[in-house]
């Protein structure tokens, strides 16, 4: 088999729907490799002895091996290798910021030939595996009596539930929403991650024996203390949901909304739910201003344009080079006709009764480097005005007050994330574990899957050693 073809074959990604067409619906914008492309693209890999792609993949996926198998047409083996470290490879293939992780660190990219298109190959491989029936329900040789409660069904909770079921435990997931999936279902828009992909995984877990208790908010519909009584171990995987606020007060107007309210409404209607009666949650025919420069802001602007907003502008206080969001998503947004006002700091909302009609912002220049390592915006004294009949605030997320909600006394960090030992994901109470965004702060799906995998091992070790202790 021929590998190391990177100097002969050009890097290629599957085609992307044209912007004019893709803004008409919420379908995923990338198509999928076919067999020939997948062989050609994987054969570009130089099979590095020290694979930087793997080192920079949070899951430490054995990328060179599955690329070689794809190139050799041994797809089932490729899938087995890929699935052995990643619970949801088809999700990561779609939503990982590969340019910062595996692909960005590929030596072929560093050498100037263009990265091996790992993400799209991972997506292709797993879609084939589903088609061919290689994705089997989880089963276990063990049947332990011990029970594990997982709070939250995002990627961290879902991944942990898969590994714990595979290890032979009874797993009960408690989810406050009416659907499982966390931000994969209600945060990330359908055009990045088709909801069917997430629902297929939820079905797979259900059929494998995971019990999902939906509409069950811990701290409200069931107490944390009841879980402590009934379960041998508890995993907190509740994510971070407190929206950061704008420096200016927007409480007097009702059309300035948090990003997630907007995205949840859009995802809900996409899933077939009837629209809520809050008319401020849709962008149709409005001049929409989205404030923020991260991935959530990009998801909001691109959702708004698909809802047929009149005009969509993103206000960001630094410049393009200093944006925290993925360059790929910014480019997609630009192609879709979003206007970007860089170096713009919101200063005042102008309203008619309780409805904002426009807002002003100060034009900034870049000053000294701040604590985040990026240059700080400083005021130039110039103020501008922009029409805004929907303002969406996408400034990031912080943890909610967990101990207040759960009536517990779990040790937290100064950022209010749950404090864990990062190898074991165990809290100050040995029976209680935590994983995903609630320990990391707002992070990535792939890190949540990583944490779910690692915490499952750790819970298994804990439960096995507590059995031995009981017996002796």
- Residues binding ligand SF4 (CB under 6 A): 45-48, 51-53, 57, 59, 61, 63-64, 86, 92-93, 96, 98, 101-102, 106-108, 116, 118-119, 122, 446
- Considering the rule CB under 6 A, would residue 217 count as an interface residue with ligand FAD? yes
Please report whether residue 386 would count as binding ligand FAD according to CB under 6 A. Answer: no
Q: Which does 192 bind (CB under 5 to 8 A by kind): ligand SF4, ligand FAD, none?
A: ligand FAD
Report, in Å, the least distance between residue 184 CB and ligand SF4. Answer: 14
Note the maximum CA span of the chain.
74
Residue 267 or 351 having the CB closest to ligand FAD:
267
Task: Provide, rounded to whole angstroms, the least separation between the CB of residue 191 and ligand FAD.
Answer: 11
Interface with ligand FAD, residue 183, by CB under 6 A: yes
State the minimum distance, in angstroms, from the CB of residue 145 to ligand FAD: 25
Rounded distance, CA 435 to CA 195, Å? 23
Q: Which of 63, 95, 289, 456 binds ligand FAD (CB under 6 A)?
A: 95
Q: Please state, in angstroms and rounded to a whole number, the distance separating the CA atoms of residues 319 and 302.
A: 19
DSSP secondary-structure letter at 154? S
Provide φ and ψ at 84, rounded to 5°.
-70, -20
Q: Which of 22, 123, 192, 362 binds ligand FAD (CB under 6 A)?
A: 192
Q: Among residues 48 and 222, whose Cβ is nearest to ligand SF4? A: 48
Tell whether residue 319 is a contact of ligand FAD (CB under 6 A).
no
Q: Classify strands 375-387 and 355-369 as parallel, antiparallel or unpaired.
A: antiparallel
Strands 211-213 and 432-434: unpaired
**Smaller CB distance to ligand SF4: residue 338 or 448?**
448
Shortest separation between residue 451's beta carbon and ligand FAD, angstroms: 7
Instruction: Round to whole Å and give the CA distance between 441 and 447.
Output: 11
CA 143 to chain centre: 32
Distance, CA of 234 to CA of 241 (rounded, Å): 20
CA torsion angle for 37, 41, 42, 43 (degrees, to 10)? Answer: 110
| Using rule CB under 6 A, residue 151 touches ligand FAD | yes
Cα distance between residue 6 and residue 115, in whole Å: 9
Chosen from ligand FAD, ligand SF4, none, partner binding at 219 (C-beta under 5 to 8 Å by type)? ligand FAD
Q: H/E element holding 163? A: helix 155-166
Closest approach of ligand SF4 to the CB of residue 13, in Å:
13
Taking residue 304's Cβ as centre, other Cβ atoms within 10 Å add up to 27
Write down the least CB distance from residue 52 to ligand SF4, Å.
5
Vertex 461 angle, CA 457 and 462, to 5°: 115
Fill in the DSSP letter of residue 71: H
388 within 8 A of 339, measured Cβ to Cβ: no
Among 192, 191, 231, CA closest to 213: 231
Binding mask 258-287 toward ligand FAD (x if CB under 6 A, else -) reads -----x------------------------
User: Within 13 Å, how many C-alpha atoms sit on residue 239's CB side?
Assistant: 24
How far apart are alpha carbons 341 and 385 in whole angstroms?
11
Q: Which does 292 bind (CB under 5 to 8 A by kind): ligand FAD, ligand SF4, none?
A: none
- For the chain, state the CA radius of gyration: 23
296/344 with CB nearer ligand FAD:
296
- Within 10 Å of residue 246's Cβ, how many Cβ atoms? 15
Of 57-65, 67-75, 179-187, 460-468, which segment contacts ligand FAD by CB under 6 A? 179-187
Nearer to ligand FAD, 161 or 167 (CB): 161
Task: Indicate which of ligand SF4, ligand FAD, none lies near residue 263 (CB less than 5 to 8 Å, by partner kind).
Answer: ligand FAD
Residue 303 interacts with ligand FAD (CB under 6 A): yes or no? no
Which residues lie near ligand FAD (CB under 6 A)?
A: 95-96, 151-157, 174-177, 182-184, 187-188, 192, 217-219, 237-239, 263, 295-296, 299, 405, 436-437, 443-446, 448
């Amino acid at each position: 088999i021929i590998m190391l073809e990177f100097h002969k074959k050009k890097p290629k990604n599957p085609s992307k729907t044209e912007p004019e067409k893709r803004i008409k619906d919420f379908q995923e914008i990338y198509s999928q490799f076919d067999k020939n492309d997948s062989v050609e693209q994987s054969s570009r890999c130089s099979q590095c002895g020290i694979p930087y792609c793997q080192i920079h993949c949070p899951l430490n996926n054995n990328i060179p091996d599955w690329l070689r198998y794809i190139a050799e047409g041994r797809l089932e083996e490729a899938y087995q290798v890929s699935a052995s470290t990643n619970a949801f490879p088809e999700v990561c293939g779609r939503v990982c910021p590969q340019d910062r992780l595996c692909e960005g660190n590929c030596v072929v990219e560093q050498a100037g030939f263009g990265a091996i298109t790992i993400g799209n190959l991972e997506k292709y491989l797993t879609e084939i595996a589903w088609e061919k029936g290689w994705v089997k329900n989880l089963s276990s040789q063990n049947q332990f009596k011990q029970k594990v409660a997982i709070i939250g069904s995002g990627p961290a909770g879902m991944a942990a539930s898969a590994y714990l079921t595979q290890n032979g435990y009874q797993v009960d997931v408690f989810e406050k929403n009416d659907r499982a999936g966390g931000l994969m279902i209600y945060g990330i828009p359908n055009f990045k991650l088709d909801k069917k992909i997430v629902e297929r995984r939820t079905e797979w877990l259900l059929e494998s024996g995971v019990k999902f208790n939906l509409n069950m908010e811990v701290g409200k519909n069931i107490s944390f203390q009841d879980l402590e009584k009934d379960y041998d171990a508890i995993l907190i995987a509740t994510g971070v949901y407190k929206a950061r606020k704008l420096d200016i007060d927007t409480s007097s107007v009702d059309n300035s909304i948090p990003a997630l309210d907007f995205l949840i409404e859009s995802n809900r209607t996409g899933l077939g739910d009837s629209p809520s009666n809050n008319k401020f949650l849709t962008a149709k025919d409005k001049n929409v201003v989205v404030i923020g420069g991260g991935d959530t802001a990009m998801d909001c602007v691109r959702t708004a344009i698909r809802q047929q907003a009149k005009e969509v502008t993103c206000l960001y206080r630094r410049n393009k080079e200093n944006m925290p969001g993925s360059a790929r998503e910014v480019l997609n947004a630009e192609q879709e006709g979003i206007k970007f006002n860089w170096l713009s700091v919101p200063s005042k909302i102008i309203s008619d009764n309780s409805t904002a009609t426009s807002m002003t912002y100060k034009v900034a220049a870049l000053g000294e480097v701040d604590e985040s390592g990026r240059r700080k915006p400083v005021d130039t004294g110039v103020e501008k005005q922009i029409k805004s009949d929907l303002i969406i605030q996408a400034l990031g997320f912080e943890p909610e007050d967990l101990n207040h909600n759960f009536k517990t006394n779990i040790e937290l960090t100064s950022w209010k994330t749950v404090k864990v030992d990062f190898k074991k994901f165990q809290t100050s109470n040995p029976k209680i574990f935590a994983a995903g965004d609630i320990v990391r702060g707002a992070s990535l799906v792939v890190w949540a899957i990583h944490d779910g995998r690692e915490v499952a091992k750790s819970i298994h070790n804990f439960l096995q050693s507590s059995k031995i202790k009981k017996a002796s």
